Amino acid sequence: MRFKLFLGLIVFGTILAWLSWGMVIFYFDPGQAGFTGVILFFVSLFLALSGLLFLLIDLVKAKLAKDQLLLYRIRVSIRHSILFTVIVLGWALLKSQSLLRWWNFLLLVLALTVLEFFFISTQKQKNNYERETYPDQDPIYPTDQSSL
């Protein structure tokens, strides 16, 4: 898939998500919508905020890190936008349930920070593993068939 088509689909999906979130805000009464209304509110806000943050983060990364591979930049931008959206929606969910305390929010941020460190460490391990090829050996088609 071409990058411009991918960005176009993300923009289209983000606009649809913001429209659906607006419809949930205007057409659902929070007192009578119940659990379904709350789920629709948070899911549509998650999709809208994730799309918007992805577009903003990717724009900043495209300007600042021009030498970074496109696939890696997209992967990291998606991950960061989702994690930041989880922080914002976690705060909103804790606030709506009257459970928002500084230690609860700190635990949420710490848990997501540990998750980000896990993703970084697995990426570094994968990169280290991929670099373990010998100069005379093609990494795609190994000549030694015993390792297969």
pLDDT digits (tens, 9 = 90+) for 27-84: 988 778 888 888 999 999 999 999 999 999 999 998 998 888 888 889 989 999 999 9
pLDDT on residue 130: 44
- pTM score of the predicted model: 0.75
Other CB atoms within 10 A of residue 48 CB: 21
Compute the distance between CA of residue 131 and CA of residue 86 in angstroms, rounded to an integer.
Answer: 33
Compute the distance between CA of residue 28 and CA of residue 40 in angstroms, rounded to an integer.
Answer: 10
| CB neighbour list of residue 133: distance below 8 Å, 6 or more residues apart | 139
Other CB atoms within 10 A of residue 39 CB: 12
pLDDT on residue 48: 97
Mean pLDDT for 82-101 is 90
Find, among 66, 61, 63, the residue nearest to 77 by Cα: 61
Task: Specify the DSSP element, H or E, that contains 134.
Answer: none
pLDDT on residue 32: 85
Q: Has residue 24 got a pLDDT over 90?
A: yes
Mean pLDDT for 15-26 is 95
Other CB atoms within 10 A of residue 111 CB: 13
Copy the structure tokens of residue 76: 């990291």
Q: Has residue 139 got a pLDDT over 60?
A: no
pLDDT on residue 5: 92
Tell me how far CA of residue 72 lies from CA of 46, 60, 83, 123, in angstroms.
Answer: 23, 14, 16, 10
Burial of 136 (0-12, 13-18, 19+ CB in 10 A): exposed
